[in-house]
Structure 1
Amino acid sequence: MATANDRAVLQTIFNPSTPFGDIPGLDEEEEDAVQDEGEAFTLELLEQVRDLELQGVSAAESGDVSTALERFGEAVRLLPERASAYNNRAQALRLRGDVAGALRDLDAAIRLSRGRGRAACQSFVQRGLIHRLQAREQEARRDFERAARLGSAFARRQLVLLNPYSALCNQMLCEMLGRLRNPGSTGSE
């Protein structure tokens, strides 16, 4: 049986640039957090909500954002205390172009998860990406820092990209490698 560290290494090897799913073992932390709050979800209801979320993810992946939003919305209605459905619905809302709605759902997911577990980590990453697209670098940095503390390698890479010194070094390195690949080029073409 693979350890959590083994799964993390494999995840990094096979999916080095994925912002989601890069923190093995956080699903259990999220469920523990829900149980810690004293909310007794029936196993049947939890399975039903997870199934709705899986249907929503499949619909979104196939480009059917409306169906995805319906499934995630139903999951939220059935279990409004579970952060995961809000996080997933935020992705679908963002795909639809409803950034304000996505931010509301991400805030709800972070609040419900108490900033812990996989749903919180993914929500911080998503919210950080939205802030970055809106040129709100400070807010993006804060969210990526929180996601990085929760184990997101993607968030750590984003923090490096947000660092102006790192960006300058990266640019210089790219130029140098370009000159090594094309010795006759001046680099300004």
Structure 2
Amino acid sequence: MSSANDRAILNSIFNPLLPVGECVYEENIPEDLRDKEEATPETEEAKQLELQGVKSAETGDVAAALASFNKAIEVAPNRASSYNNRAQTLRLMGKLEEAMADLDTAVRLSRGLGRAACQAFTQRAMVHRLQGHDDLARVDFQEAANLGSEFAKAQLVQMNPYAALCNKMLHDVFSKLQRGECGGV
């Protein structure tokens, strides 16, 4: 069995857009927001295929990773996690439209709840930001923040123009203080 640290490292390798430890563990999500996935032989097979895909991605074999995730989706087409993982692979291949379609599917299948939804909202928001669609990114970051994502909360603050202005003003004041330019404070 892997440790929490091992799982965080594996997640950071396979999901480079997410911060280490972000939305990784179901036990960190409040009970009422957890995934509602039923354990079946198909979902267990899909999980094994996903692990295979992650291992392939770690070794740089993106084609094998994609094949594993495609098979996982074929075996358990209603499992949101498989779409999240395939979206990462597609993103690594530069296929952003296909990745976004998979993230949309993951959000729909998860009903916007649990780890799978948290990851999908966060990944989708990051892609929106990369594409310059900050309004769409804010919406997805807010959804991920509502599911407990500290990273999404921090991104929302960073994207707030008033917060950015206040941070700049504070930085300027502290810089002047350090240089001794402010008298009487």
Q: CA deviation at 1:69?
A: 0.9
**Structure 1 counterpart of 2:132:** 135
Match of 1:102 among 99, 102, 105: 99
Structure 2 SS opposite 1:126: helix
2:15 paired with 1:18: no
Alpha-carbon distance in 2 for matches of 1:58, 1:174: 44
**Structure 2 counterpart of 1:34:** 37
Structure 2 SS opposite 1:80: coil
Q: Contact 2:121–2:144 (CA<8 Å) still a contact in 1?
A: yes
Q: Contact 2:26–2:114 (CA<8 Å) still a contact in 1?
A: no
Q: CA deviation at 1:174?
A: 4.1
Aligned length: 164
* Structure 1: tracts of 5 or more residues without a match: 1-6, 185-189
Task: Note closer, same or farther for the CA distance 1:149–1:179 as it changes in structure 2 (3 Å cut).
Answer: same
Q: CA deviation at 1:41?
A: 2.5
* Aligned CA-pair RMSD: 2.9
Structure 1 SS opposite 2:63: helix
* Structure 2: tracts of 5 or more residues without a match: 13-17, 181-185
TM-score by length of 2: 0.77
The amino acid that maps onto 1:41 is T
Match of 2:66 among 66, 69, 75: 69
2:159 paired with 1:162: yes
After superposition, what is the alpha-carbon deviation per residue over 1:18-55, rounded to whole angstroms, capped at 9, x for unaligned? 3733554249821xx233xxxx723xx32221111112
Alpha-carbon distance in 1 for matches of 2:119, 2:170: 31
The amino acid that maps onto 1:68 is A
The amino acid that maps onto 2:134 is E
Q: Contact 2:43–2:79 (CA<8 Å) still a contact in 1?
A: no
Structure 2 counterparts to residues 44-123 of structure 1, below 5 A: 45-123=42-120
Percent identity (aligned): 49
TM-score by length of 1: 0.75
